[in-house]
Amino acid sequence: MTEQHLAQNTENSLESPTLARRTFDSIKSDIINGQLAQGTKIVESDLALKYGISRGPLREAIHRLEQIKLIVRIPHAGSRVITLDTKMMEDIYTARESLEGMAARLAARLMPEAEILALSELLDQHEASISETEGKAYFQREGDIDFHFRIAMASRNQWILENLNGELYQLIRMCRHQSGQFPARAQTALDQHRQIAAAVERRDEELAEILMRRHISGAWEIVKKILEDQND
Amino acid sequence: MTEQHLAQNTENSLESPTLARRTFDSIKSDIINGQLAQGTKIVESDLALKYGISRGPLREAIHRLEQIKLIVRIPHAGSRVITLDTKMMEDIYTARESLEGMAARLAARLMPEAEILALSELLDQHEASISETEGKAYFQREGDIDFHFRIAMASRNQWILENLNGELYQLIRMCRHQSGQFPARAQTALDQHRQIAAAVERRDEELAEILMRRHISGAWEIVKKILEDQND
DNA sequence: TACACTTTGATTGTTGACAATTTATGACTG
DNA sequence: CAGTCATAAATTGTCAACAATCAAAGTGTA
């Protein structure tokens, strides 16, 4: 277990100049893909040993993880990996609906033609990947996030971009991972993405926002059902 | 200068059990009300001395200040107090418009009657404070934030609440402070608040959201003018 | 004089030890 | 036997010293 983390560290050592940052990345992916289960108690000395570093940088990593809400922390009492419940996910999807709706509006106003073209090509790729023999569930997920990421980028709004990327998408990724495979909604999602892209291309801010909000609240309805079915 | 901070610390020592947290609060208010000017270089050892603590907890405070975007930080190069420019404030007001619009919608759906009543009484107080001889600019500002805070609370959405309180309002407070006194827009704002409250009372989600968004984008237009006038 | 290089100084990143606090354990008492 | 208090273990919070890194001052050369 130590070896894999060492490998990961040396692998990331180019992109993250600081030890705390690299550890943050490591723990983050460990949480997102479930290697650190929800509700796990975090003991600083144990984790420091596991990742082969001292408590100082580990502490910094934990604090950053707390800020993006992957870890819950109580002074003097310790910290645990977050446990996703339905209410929290609803809050997150609602906030995302609001923020990404605005992002779509801004994208319709500001996105350069070249980027719109590239977005359209991305959707073509997705179309192709759906036609291929399935099993590309993972690819579809990342493709979905990719589309939403580009809209967020196009908003040219730093605050919205950072919060979607840094916090909301992470939690949604985690939720998806824990909930296992999702139903084959890929075609529906792609159609909606196309409509949104079309609205952006027509510079129809109002429509772009409305469609994005519908798209996300629709996604939430499905996630919600899955979460509720799991609680049986 | 040391004395005031010591006083502040002992004052907060009941609510914040940890030294890092208290220092975080101290530096935060120092930044917001301008005692630490924008763009000031932050030197850890200096600040640690100034606040009478070690670099460890100070570092934690700085990291949290970075997360709420009051401090900008570059690895190995140090950190500075943020400098508010027009673009950043526009991003923040836009994000706020989106989030608080959603909050108003949720408030219209979920706010209990008792809270709506209390909200109405709050607005009565504001009305009274406006009638009084002026000079209550400070009070009006805090009153304004109070109203928006209650709507955010009523949304029952933890994520939205935390982000409005923890980050956006802080930056807006800071911007207001730096921009000096604002024009006497109190009556206009109060009227708009009343309309929003009325929409919430009627459980008209759509209208509540629209009115809130107009209210905030209107506020931004005014702030924007002031900021642009300052750049002469 | 301008430019590249080296070296020095200052500042951040990291570490391990120490202090303060909480939680768990167990004895004592009603 | 239940409940409460005191003690002990484990864990977090804090500190001061050490190592790594960056920015600037200074030196030498074309």
Distances from the Cα of A6 to the Cα of A1, A61, A231, B18, B64, angstroms: 9, 17, 38, 33, 28
Q: Distance between CA atoms of B33 and A22, rounded to whole angstroms?
A: 35
**Amino acid letter for position B19:** L
pLDDT, tens digit, 9 for 90 and up, residues A97-129: 999 999 999 999 999 999 999 999 999 988 888
pLDDT of residue B39: 92
**pLDDT of amino acid A129:** 82
Higher pLDDT, A10 or B21: B21
Tell me the per-residue pLDDT of A125-153, one tens digit each, with 9 for 90 and over: 888 888 775 555 666 677 889 999 999 99
SS (H, E, C) B21-66: HHHHHHHHHHHHCCCCCCCCEECHHHHHHHCCCCHHHHHHHHHHHH
- Residue B120 scores a pLDDT above 70: yes
Task: With cut-offs at 50, 70 and 90, classify the pLDDT of residue B32.
Answer: very high
- What structural domains and CATH numbers belong to chain A? 3-81 (1.10.10.10), 86-231 (1.20.120.530)
B74: nearest Cα among A18, A157, A28, A77: A18
Span CA (A172) to C1' (C29), Å: 54
Interchain contact, A101 vs B106, CB within 8 Å: no
Of the partner residues B21, B76, B95, the one whose CB lies closest to the CB of residue A99:
B95
User: B20 with B5: CB under 8 angstroms?
Assistant: no
User: Mean pLDDT across the stretch A205-225?
Assistant: 96
Q: What is the pLDDT of residues A31-76, one digit of tens each?
A: 999 999 999 999 999 999 999 999 999 999 999 999 999 999 999 9
The pLDDT mean for chain A works out to: 88
Which sign does the torsion angle of CA B18, B23, B24, B25 carry? positive
B134-164 confidence digits (pLDDT tens): 555 666 677 889 999 999 999 999 999 999 9
Q: Is B95 exposed, middle or buried (0-12, 13-18, 19+ CB in 10 A)?
A: buried
Of A8-12, B82-86, B97-101, B127-131, the poorest mean pLDDT is in A8-12
A117/chain B closest Cα distance in angstroms:
25
Instruction: In whole angstroms, give the CA distance from residue A17 to residue B140.
Output: 46
pLDDT tens figures, A142-201: 788 999 999 999 999 999 999 999 999 999 999 988 877 666 678 889 999 999 999 999
pLDDT digits (tens, 9 = 90+) for B198-220: 999 999 999 999 999 999 999 99
Structure tokens at A174: 């985690």
Give dist(CA A111, CA A96) in Å, integer: 20
Name the residues contacting strand D (CB < 7 Å): A 17, 42-45, 55-56, 59, 75-79; B 18-20, 53-57, 60, 76-77
CB-based contact B94 A102, cutoff 8 Å: yes
- What 3-state class would DSSP assign to B194? helix
Residues 6+ apart with CB under 8 A from A207: A108, A199
CA distance B13 to B21: 10
Distance CA B71, CA B63 (A): 8
pLDDT of residue A178: 81
DSSP state of B16: -
Read off φ and ψ for residue B42, nearest 5 degrees.
-100, 115
Residue B57 touches chain A, beta carbons under 8 Å: no
Give every CB contact of residue A55 below 8 A, 6+ residues apart in sequence. A44, A45, A48
Instruction: Say if residues A217 and A105 touch (Cβ distance below 8 Å).
Output: no
pLDDT for B137: 60
Which region among A11-15, B21-25, B106-110 has the lowest average model confidence (pLDDT)?
A: A11-15
Q: What is the pLDDT of residues A6-38, one digit of tens each?
A: 333 333 334 678 899 999 999 999 999 999 999
The Cα A16–Cα B106 span in angstroms is 40
B161's tokens: 């609440």
Residue identified by tokens 């959603």 is B102
pLDDT band (50, 70, 90) for residue B2: very low
B42-68: per-residue pLDDT in tens?
Answer: 999 999 999 999 999 999 999 999 999
Cα(B28)–Cα(B20) distance, integer angstroms: 12
The answer to whether the CB of A122 falls within 8 A of the CB of A183 is no
If DSSP codes are grouped into helix, strand and coil, which group holds residue A202? Answer: coil
Distance (Å, rounded) from C-alpha A136 to C-alpha A157?
32
Average pLDDT of the residues in B9-29: 75
CA A50/CA B47 separation, integer angstroms: 33
Considering only the C-alpha atoms of chain B, give the largest distance between any 2 of them, rounded to a whole number of Å.
Answer: 56
Residue from A94, A110, A165, A170 to probe the interface with B (highest B Cβ count within 10 Å): A94
β-bridge partners, B72 = B80
Q: pTM value?
A: 0.90
Report the pLDDT value the prediction gives residue A126, as an integer from 0 to 100. Answer: 87
